[in-house]
Amino acid sequence: MTDRCRALGWAVAAAVVASLAVIPAGGTQYVRSFFLLLFMYVTLAQSWNMISGYTGYLSFGHGVFFGIGAYTAAHLVTKFGWPFPLALLAAGGMAVLAALLLGVVFMRVRIRVAYFSITALGLNEIVKTLVVNNEWLGSSHGLTLPPLPYQWVLFYLLLAFAAASTLLMRWVDRAPFGLGLKAILQDEEAAEVNGVPTFRLKLLVFLVSAFFPGITGAVIAWHWSYIDPYMAFDLVISFDMAVMTVFGGIGTVWGPVLGATLMGILTETLWVKVPNLHGLIFGALVVAIVVISPGGLMEIGDRVRRSVAVRRWWPLVREGESV
Amino acid sequence: MSLGIYAELLAFGLAVGGLYALTASGLNLVVGVMKILNIAHGEMLMLGAYTAFWAFTLWDVHPLLSVLLTGPLLFLLGVVIHQLVVRPIIRVSPTVERLERATLIGFFGVLIVLQNAALLLWTADYRVLNVLQTPVPGLHISVARLAVFLVSLALVFALHLLLMRTRFGKAVRAVSQDRDMAALLTIDVKTIGLLAFGLGSAMAGLGGSLASMIYVTTPTMGLMFTLKAFTVMVVGGLGSVLGNVVAGLALGLAEEFGAFWIGEAYKDVIDYVVLIAVILLISYGYLKRRELA
Nearest CA in chain B to A52: B101
* pLDDT tens-digit readout, B215-246: 899 999 999 999 999 999 988 888 778 888 99
B282 CA: distance to closest CA in chain A (Å): 9
With respect to residue A67, please indicate whether it lies within any of the assigned structural domains.
Answer: yes
Length reported for chain A: 323
- Contact criterion met (CB < 8 Å) for A235 and B37: no
pTM of the model: 0.90
CATH number, position A149: 1.10.3470
- Exposed (0-12), middle (13-18) or buried (19+): which is B220, by Cβ within 10 Å? middle
With respect to residue A285, please indicate whether it lies within any of the assigned structural domains.
Answer: yes
> A190 CB near a chain B CB, below 8 Å?
no
Cβ-based contacts of A117 with chain B (< 8 Å): 39, 104
A54 CA: distance to closest CA in chain B (Å): 12
> B279 CB near a chain A CB, below 8 Å?
yes
With respect to residue A175, please indicate whether it lies within any of the assigned structural domains.
Answer: yes
Task: Report whether B209 contacts B66 (CB < 8 A).
Answer: yes
B259 CA: distance to closest CA in chain A (Å): 13
- Contact criterion met (CB < 8 Å) for A118 and B92: no
In angstroms, the CA A15 to CA A96 distance is 32
> A117 CB near a chain B CB, below 8 Å?
yes
With respect to residue A20, please indicate whether it lies within any of the assigned structural domains.
Answer: yes
Length reported for chain B: 293
Q: Which residue ranges in chain B fall short of pLDDT 70?
A: 1-2, 138-140, 289-293
| Domain hosting residue A31, numbered range | 2-292
pLDDT tens sequence for chain A (323 residues): 467 777 888 888 888 888 787 777 777 778 888 888 999 999 999 999 999 999 999 999 999 999 999 999 998 998 888 888 899 999 999 999 999 999 988 888 778 888 889 889 889 989 998 888 887 777 778 888 887 777 788 889 999 999 999 999 999 998 999 999 999 998 888 898 998 898 999 999 999 999 999 999 999 998 888 888 998 999 889 999 999 999 999 999 999 999 999 998 988 888 777 777 888 899 999 999 999 888 888 888 888 877 776 655 555 555 555 54
Task: Report whether B78 contacts B197 (CB < 8 A).
Answer: yes
Q: Where does chain B have alpha helices with state H?
A: 2-34, 41-59, 67-81, 87-92, 96-122, 143-165, 167-177, 179-184, 189-214, 222-236, 241-262, 267-283
> A112 CB near a chain B CB, below 8 Å?
yes
Sign of CA dihedral B54, B59, B62, B68: negative
Question: Residue A253 — left, alpha, or beta (φ > 0 → left; ψ -120 to 50 → alpha)?
Answer: alpha
With respect to residue A304, please indicate whether it lies within any of the assigned structural domains.
Answer: no
Among residues 151-210 of chain B, which lie with CB inside 8 Å of chain A? none
With respect to residue A37, please indicate whether it lies within any of the assigned structural domains.
Answer: yes
With respect to residue A299, please indicate whether it lies within any of the assigned structural domains.
Answer: no
With respect to residue A142, please indicate whether it lies within any of the assigned structural domains.
Answer: yes
Q: How many domains does chain A fold into?
A: 1
A178: Cβ contacts below 8 Å, ≥ 6 apart: A54, A171, A172
A30: Cβ contacts below 8 Å, ≥ 6 apart: none
